Structure 1
Amino acid sequence: MKDYLVRATAADAQVRAFAATTRQTVETARQNHNTSPVVTAALGRLLTAGAMMGSMLKGKEDLLTLQVTGDGPMGGMTVTADSMGGVKGYANEPQVILPANSQGKLDVGGAVGSGILRVIRDMGLKDPYVGQTALQTGEIAEDLTYYFATSEQVPSSVGLGVLMEKDNTVKQAGGFIVQLMPFAEEETIQKLESNLSKIRSVTSLLDEGVTPEGLLELVLEGMDFQFLETRDVKFACNCSKERVEKALISIGREEIGNMIADGETIEVKCHFCNKGYHFSIPELKGLLEKCGNK
């Protein structure tokens, strides 16, 4: 099954909902960063949420960034998504190994620890919108549910999951976000709560072959829902040698001069996709000339 998300509305637009399957996207991130299973699960959940929240953006140039900073061994994660289904991300410490939690599952909360969830929406205005809340569990889905309710005043339910194979590749990944609009009636709220209480884990449903549409059929059962859009999701990084050149120029003459003095070709890796860009001594000297008096 290819990676994609669906968007739906229900109960005369009292409810809006999103669901996605993201196995290939999360597996690409795992391969790019050689993440351990618990980091793959954590980053995969955040990538899935990023893809769905990115689809909430209005403009084609709008960008969403999710930042998790915690005191756990992983340190934190950053995910950036556009409005067209492109998403990318990385973990500060990709190789964390932890024992299973009390439920025998990957201890994402233990890897993340206590800290902050920050949501940044860059919509081309002078300043981006920034909202943040304290992490509630470090398990990502519960933290986003809390964020939506407290920072954006939108009652929401977020379900996210990543299932690993025995060889540590990604077997399944996906999730849903369902939100109540301000004019939602009590009957609608109660029906949605009843449906959500019956939902088993996202990964078990995906592993049984349930599609994003199927996820929303379970979440929105009996609520007169309709699908509005289907959109492909993919791990997409827009890094380039030109962008890295600009970053190098920005660090100034002294630093580039030190690199030249070392007399060796340097490699600069993209945080998001881990692709390496090499700069020879002649290229570094060319960048030095572009620095001006910085």
Structure 2
Amino acid sequence: MNDYIIRGTAANDQVRFFAAYTKDVVETARQKHNTSPVATAALGRLLTAGAMMGSMCKNDSDVITLQIQCSGPIGGLTVTADSKANVKGYVNNPDVMLPPSKEGKLDVGKALDLGVLTVIKDIGLKEPYSGQTHLVSGEIAEDLTYYFAASEQIPTSVALGVLMNKDNTVRQAGGFIIQMMPYAEEETISKLEKKIAEFKSVTYALEHEHTPEKMMEDLLGDMDMKIYEKVPTQFHCNCSKERVEKAVISVGKKEIQNMIDDGEPIEVNCHFCNTHYHYSVDDLKRMLNEATR
């Protein structure tokens, strides 16, 4: 099954939802960053959320960034997604290793511990919109649920899951975001709250061959659920040697001259996809000429 996101509404448009299958997205990130199991789970959850939140954007040029700064050993995470559900991200410490939680699961909450979640939306305005909330559990889904309620005043249920194989490859990954519209009736809210309370977990559903459609059917099937769109999602970084070269030029003539004087080629690494770009001394001289134009 290829990775994808569905979006739709239920209860006569009182509810909107997004649900995703993201196994390949998370496995690609694991391979690119060589993440430990707990780092894969944390990054995978945030990538899944980012892809769904990116697909919420209205304009092709819109970009959303989810950033977590935390005191736990993972150090922090950053994910960026566009409106076509292309998503990329990295963790500050991909090697973090922790014992399982009391429930025998990967202890993402302990890996993050205390911290702050920042959501930045670049939607073509003069300044990007930025909202920030404290982490409530470090489990990411609960933190995003709290973010939507506190920063955007939207009652929301976020569920995210990543399940690993014994060889540390990704077995399952996905999630959903369900939101109540401002005019949602109390009866609808109560009914949905009860259904969500009975829902076991995203990974349990995926392990039992439940697609995103089936997950939403279980939660919203008796509320006149409608699926409007199914879009592919992928781990995709838009870096290139040319783009990175512009970043090098932006450091200024003095810095480039210092690199030339060192007489050694340089290597620049993209945080998001871990691609290494190499530039020779001749490349640096050409960049210096461009910087002085």
Match of 1:281 in 2: 281
CA–CA separation in structure 2 for the residues paired with 1:33 and 1:137:
25
By how many angstroms is 1:207 displaced?
1.2
Match of 2:226 in 1: 226
Does structure 2 retain, via aligned residues, the 8 Å contact 1:195–1:221?
Answer: no
TM-score (norm 1): 0.98
Match of 1:161 in 2: 161
- Asked if residue 20 in structure 1 is aligned to residue 20 in structure 2, the reply is yes
By how many angstroms is 1:291 displaced?
2.0
CA–CA separation in structure 1 for the residues paired with 2:189 and 2:137:
24
CA–CA separation in structure 1 for the residues paired with 2:255 and 2:71:
31
- Asked if residue 144 in structure 1 is aligned to residue 163 in structure 2, the reply is no
By how many angstroms is 1:17 displaced?
0.6
TM-score (norm 2): 0.98
- Provide Cα deviations, 1:77-100, integer angstroms capped at 9, x if missing partner: 110001112100011111111111
CA–CA separation in structure 2 for the residues paired with 1:265 and 1:209:
50
Q: Secondary structure at the match of 2:17?
A: strand
Q: Secondary structure at the match of 2:209?
A: coil
CA–CA separation in structure 1 for the residues paired with 2:173 and 2:241:
31
CA–CA separation in structure 2 for the residues paired with 1:238 and 1:272:
9
By how many angstroms is 1:230 displaced?
0.2
CA–CA separation in structure 2 for the residues paired with 1:172 and 1:262:
48
Give the number of aligned pairs.
293
The residue identity in structure 2 corresponding to 1:78 is T
CA–CA separation in structure 2 for the residues paired with 1:224 and 1:132:
34
Match of 1:74 in 2: 74
Match of 1:177 in 2: 177
**Gaps in structure 1 of 5+ consecutive residues:** none
Match of 1:199 in 2: 199
- Provide Cα deviations, 1:100-136, integer angstroms capped at 9, x if missing partner: 1111111111111211100111011101111010000
The residue identity in structure 2 corresponding to 1:127 is E
The residue identity in structure 2 corresponding to 1:255 is E
Match of 1:43 in 2: 43
CA–CA separation in structure 1 for the residues paired with 2:71 and 2:246:
32
Q: Secondary structure at the match of 1:39?
A: helix
- Provide Cα deviations, 1:134-171, integer angstroms capped at 9, x if missing partner: 00011100000000001000000000000000000000
By how many angstroms is 1:258 displaced?
2.4
Moved over 6 A (4+): none
- Provide Cα deviations, 1:200-241, integer angstroms capped at 9, x if missing partner: 111111111110101111121321111110000100110011
CA–CA separation in structure 2 for the residues paired with 1:218 and 1:255:
58
The residue identity in structure 2 corresponding to 1:250 is S
Q: Secondary structure at the match of 1:27?
A: helix
**Gaps in structure 2 of 5+ consecutive residues:** none
By how many angstroms is 1:262 displaced?
2.4
Q: Give the aligned CA root-mean-square deviation in angstroms.
A: 1.0
